[in-house]
Amino acid sequence: MIGLFDEPAVRTVALGTAAIGALAGFIGTFAVVRRQSLLGDAISHAALPGLALAFLLGARSPIVLIAGAAVAGWIAMALVAGMVRGRHASFDTALGGALAVFFGIGLALLTAIQKHVPDATRHGLDRYLFGQAAIMDETDVRVVAAVGLVSLGIVLALWKPIQLLCFDPDFAAVQGWPIRRLDALLAALVVVATVTGLQAVGVVLMSSLLVAPAVAARQWLNRLGPMAALAAAFGGFAGFAGTIGSHLLSADNRTVPTGPVIVLVATALVAISLARSLFARRVVVLARATS
Amino acid sequence: MIDTMLVMAAVAAACAVPGVFLVLRKMVLVGDAMSHVLLLGIVLAFFVVRDPASPALFFGAAAAGVVTVALVELLQHTRLLKEDAAIGLVFPALFSIGTLLASMYLRNTHLDVDRVLLGSAELAYLDRFTIAGRDLGPRGFAVPAMVFLATVFLVAVAYKELKLVSFDPGLATTLGFKPALVHYALMLGVSLTTVSAFDAVGPVLVLAFFAVPPAAARLLTNRLSILLVLSVAIAVSAALAGTWLAFRLDITTAGTVCTVLGTLFALTILAAPDRGLIAELLRRRRLIRELHGTLLVVHLHRHEGTPAEAEESRREGLEAHLNWSREQTARVSRRAQAEGWIVAVGDCWKLTDAGRDRAKAAGT
């Protein structure tokens, strides 16, 4: 394992996935606490038409593609919020419908690209769909780190209203905070975190990285700030250990994809944390029964 | 193209029926979780039977869907996490196991991860579906069509129970129905439908078929029976139109049908007769007009028979008393005149009996 880490390629990928995991764990905490765990799932699917459209318009650099994805994801979230507010659909229906319809539009655009753009050797688009951590390079890692630092700065700057919004949005509104705008801002942070991680772990598995570290951290801590920090640590660990693990499992005749292993590490963390909570509860019950 | 149209129409119809109950019970995202886990069910069943064409794969996948729901509910019952988090945990984990197993052991078999994820309606009709040597048409059509008939039959048989459980589970329990039983029957139905739709549309787009037609129909009606029929009608017409469009443009069929579904839903939100945006806008405008008309007659009524009447009801300069613009005052008076609430007498407005009644009704 130590020897693996000496390989520069593996080191870059492990650092990159760890950074993505930490970012997703941190931002995901706010989504989980607000019972919007499936936001990441919806966003990562809804980002596809943005990616495809950016590609169709000639963009090839990862940052522009990520920006396209983020715009599409954000539009989808705005539509969901609008449908729920106007009572045209309930949250789950709006989210599920938007997710699938956007994904369908994205697929239609993708097939159009493959037909009509001559140099489209599926230039990394598949990579965004299914995730391929193995081809992360240092630029990608830097992008993730930059996004993470900016998100951290925004959250710290608005810590008080964000905390209020998480636990008592009505009170926050009464206190005069612009909760609709804060809500949109938090959604935007989730969007950015999601699309940044897409390329490494893929559409489906990104949603897990937003949820699992936060749920695990919730079992150990009650305060929002420490919880977000612990979730970031869990997410980082899952990214790192998952990458190393997939390399260890891979042999000459087979390659083990990185994304699923990362998700399984994160899920194992949740299982341990839940077991600890259940055990603690049992101890309390026993103590009460015997005293 | 006709073959693909048949396939898509069958898939759309089959999904619309259980979709209605998913939407009504706010469980669309559970359907999302189930559809992703089917891959694991297919892979596990394949390990057992070693035959990519075996019907065991079908039922293995359906079982995996139900197991997912059970797992989500188990996690929820610990009260350590909420439903959304439980869904968001369970399905990526099971999906990951499915992808891992598929990519490690099934590289060279019929189970192609890309195809399993995205579906391919263009290829779905290539396999024929045979029972005892008799050809029952393309598999992609026959299987969803059979599932459609089965769910329609089930809904017809258990219509009352489904209705009660969907709208008032508490009352259903009190009356001695078993909501849990109906719930799991429904989940099994959703799971079977998803598997049958799998070849053609894959696990992501199937969600659009579950959620969008019922959501659109929901804006058009309040009756469960009409809701069911409308959902199927919307789903099938989107499937036919989408397939035609996809062939015209030479792009993916399933994605295009989803796009058409989304467009239909957007149109419904705009134009639904009662709950649509346009209807709402018109209603608001009508209310404002009525309010203005009422304000005018109330104003006239208040000054009727007082010394200031002549001044307050003069047609020229009325806007100063009502604090409106000149154009608005003219518009409101014109409409009030057309309604028969006021008449022009000399250079003043006079209330008619109808106008007086209206002012009194508004005043009390």
pLDDT at A2: 52
pLDDT, averaged across chain B: 83
CA angle, B227 then B271 then B332, to 5°: 130
pLDDT the model gives residue A131: 67
Contacts of A87 in chain B (CB under 8 A): 275
Residue B19 has a pLDDT of 92
Q: What's the domain range around A238?
A: 2-290
Judged on CB neighbours under 10 Å (0-12, 13-18, 19+), B33 is: buried
Residue A4 is predicted with a pLDDT of 59
Nearest CB partner across the interface for B29, out of A96, A259, A274: A96
Q: Which residue of A has its CA nearest to B27?
A: A92
**Which member of B81, B249, B255 has the closest CB to residue A104?**
B255
Residue position matching structure tokens 């189930």: B34
In the predicted structure, residue A155 carries a pLDDT above the cut 70: yes
As a whole number, mean pLDDT of residues A146-163 equals: 90
How many CB atoms neighbour CB A168 within 10 A?
Answer: 12
Q: Does domain B278-363 have CATH number 1.10.10.10?
A: yes
Which regions of chain B carry the CATH code 1.10.10.10? Answer: 278-363
Closest residue in A to B31 (Cα) is A96
Over residues B321-333, mean pLDDT: 86
Structure-token match 């941190």, residue found: A26
DSSP B108: T
User: Cβ separation of B96 and A267 shorter than 8 Å?
Assistant: yes
Is A93 in Cβ contact with B215 (below 8 Å)? yes
For B234-288, how does the pLDDT look when each residue is reduced to its tens digit (9 = 90+)?
A: 999 999 999 999 888 888 888 889 999 999 999 999 888 888 888 889 999 999 9
The answer on pLDDT for B124 being more than 70 is no
pLDDT at B233: 94
Q: Are A267 and B107 an interchain contact pair (Cβ–Cβ within 8 Å)?
A: no
pLDDT of the residue at B227: 92
Torsion of CA B52, B253, A125, B40, to 10 degrees: -30
Q: Structurally, how many domains does chain A consist of?
A: 1
Q: State chain A's mean pLDDT as an integer.
A: 83
- When CB atoms are compared, the residue of A32, A95, A278 closest to B29 is A95
- CATH code of A181's domain: 1.10.3470.10
According to the model, what pLDDT value does residue A208 have? Answer: 87
CA distance B60 to B44: 7
Interface touch A104/B205, C-beta < 8 Å: yes
- Tell me the C-alpha to C-alpha distance, in Å, between residue B254 and each of A42, B10, B83, B176, B238: 18, 13, 30, 42, 11
pLDDT the model gives residue B114: 56
Instruction: Verify whether the Cβ–Cβ distance A207 to B87 is below 8 Å.
Output: no
B5-64 pLDDT, tens digit each? 888 888 899 999 999 999 998 888 888 888 888 878 888 888 888 776 677 778 888 888
pLDDT tens-digit readout, A193-219 = 888 888 777 777 788 889 999 999 999
Q: How confident is the model at residue A265 (pLDDT cuts 50, 70, 90)?
A: very high
The values of phi and psi at residue B238, to 5°, are -65, -40
Q: What is the pLDDT of residues A9-36, one digit of tens each?
A: 778 888 888 999 999 999 999 988 888 8
Report the predicted TM-score, pTM, of the whole model to 2 decimal places: 0.83
Q: Looking at the predicted structure, is the pLDDT value of residue B332 above 70?
A: yes
Min Cα–Cα distance to chain B from A40, Å: 9
Instruction: Give strand pairing partners of B138.
Output: B128
The CB-side HSE value for B64 (13 A sphere, CA atoms) comes to 29
Q: Which residue of A has its CA nearest to B253?
A: A108
The confidence score (pLDDT) of residue A232 equals: 94
Q: Is the pLDDT of residue B230 over 90?
A: yes
The per-residue pLDDT for A187 is 86
* One-letter amino acid of A198: L
Query: What is the CB neighbour count within 10 angstroms for residue A215?
Result: 28
- Whether residues B104 and A35 touch (CB distance < 8 A) is answered with no
Decide if pLDDT at B207 tops 80: yes
Chain B residues closer than 8 Å to A204 by CB: 36, 92, 95
C-beta neighbour count of B76 within 10 angstroms: 16
Question: How many A/B residue pairs have CB atoms within 8 Å?
Answer: 194
Mean pLDDT for A181-201 is: 84
A-chain residues near B29 (CB < 8 A) = 38, 92, 95-96
Question: Is residue A78 within 8 Å of A67, Cβ to Cβ?
Answer: no
Of B270 and B116, which is predicted with more confidence? B270
Residue B48: what pLDDT? 84
Q: Which residues of B touch A100 (CB under 8 A)?
A: 204-209, 211-212, 258
Nearest to A111 among B251, B261, B277 (CB): B251
Chain A neighbors of B261, CB-CB under 8 A? 101, 104
Instruction: Spell out the alpha helix ranges (H) of B219-276.
Output: 224-249, 253-271
- For chain A, the residue count is 291
Each residue's pLDDT tens digit, B64-113: 888 888 888 888 888 888 888 888 888 888 888 888 887 777 665 544 55
CA A101 to chain centre: 20
**pLDDT at B333 exceeding the cut of 60:** yes
Are B336 and B342 within 8 A, CB to CB? Answer: yes
| Secondary structure (DSSP) of B329-361 | HHHHHHHHHHTTSEEEETTEEEE-HHHHHHHHH
Contact B259 A270 (CB under 8 A): no
Task: List the single residue in B with minimal CA-CA distance to A112.
Answer: B251
Q: What is the C-alpha separation between A235 and A242, in angstroms, rounded?
A: 10
The C-alpha atoms of residue B11 and residue B27 are separated, in whole angstroms, by 20
Give the CATH class of B13-206.
Answer: mainly alpha
pLDDT of residue B265: 92
B210/A204 Cβ within 8 A: no
pLDDT at A242 over 80: yes
Of B75, B89, B118, the CB nearest to A107: B118
Give the per-residue pLDDT at A127. Answer: 62
Task: Give the Cα separation of B141 and B197 in Å (integer).
Answer: 9
Are the Cβ atoms of A267 and B93 closer than 8 angstroms? yes
pLDDT of residue B112: 52
